[in-house]
Structure 1
């Protein structure tokens, strides 16, 4: 009986957390319409931050992203520079799989990311292998991007582990002319 109550509470928390997801179709009528292949083609600059679950800013960073497409397959080459001077690189391979649907892979993504575009919004869901204090932990990412105009996109990613919120990443992208 001692283990039953905590287990029941954990199950309820996970179920409640899973009930709040917004579907991309909610944004289908929003403008400007996001054309992923057009927006992520060329060079973009981004500024961002990671906040832990309490809201404290843990890291700030800048990103230079270079995107290119050959048909329905795109490469996004991201170069991160963190506020502590460390650098990191991530190269995504994106594939358009149907109207408004994409998959993505990268070296630190576990499995395949799933993306859905509707209106001005893109939702990516994936598992990220995140280095933390000399270990690697897998966190689930729900990554939302919203096109504001032809140059600016806002991005918010919620990170979770075992269904529990562990932090957020916020970014602002600006496409170079």
Structure 2
């Protein structure tokens, strides 16, 4: 095998090893995460943002109210950050076939897409994030795991142009 073919094979294997999990990897996990059922009613959350070095940059709490009519829902989120600032985001959600979902909000660039299987839900979207007087469009790879009927653990990886910026960790509780 010549050097070029060997190099291509090694590169292909390296990329395949970096593929990461898919939501289908959790298809047999229980309890089953039904986005419409969990995000219907009153919820609260506690979370934090860590930078790429793992330092806690900001803590926050969230009050949420979800409401569904058939396959269309809203999730009204009220954030309070450790620095005293506040934020509101209203998600407009759509359930599609096959465990897929879409969502929009005023600070989401385009449309978020999600998929659920088993106890997992994965969202992918771009957030228009205000930073020091500028707005950065950052990509989020957002994973949620239903732990029990009242608790979801959420971890989001935030990046820009492929560069890891930090992570959001959140515990969501249904009331």
**TM-score using structure 1 length:** 0.89
Q: After superposition, give the CA deviation of every residue in 1:100-139 in whole Å (9 maximum; x if it has no partner).
A: 0000000000000000000000000000000001100000
Counterpart position of 1:50: 49
1:161-176 matches, within 5 Å, as 161-176=160-175
Counterpart position of 2:103: 104
Counterpart position of 1:123: 122
Aligned-partner Cα distance in 2 for 1:104–1:18: 30
Aligned-partner Cα distance in 1 for 2:30–2:16: 29
Q: After superposition, give the CA deviation of every residue in 1:13-42 in whole Å (9 maximum; x if it has no partner).
A: xx9599333110000000000111000000
Segments of 5+ residues of structure 1 without an aligned counterpart are: 1-11
Q: Work out which of the two has the higher radius of gyration on C-alpha atoms and give 1 or 2.
A: 2
Counterpart position of 2:76: 77
**Residues 17 and 163 in structure 1, CA contact (< 8 A), matched pair in contact too:** no
Aligned-partner Cα distance in 1 for 2:131–2:16: 24
Q: Secondary structure at the match of 1:85?
A: coil
Segments of 5+ residues of structure 2 without an aligned counterpart are: 1-10
- Name the Cα RMSD after superposition: 1.6
Classify 1:69/1:18 alpha carbon distance in 2 versus 1 (closer, same or farther; 3 Å). farther
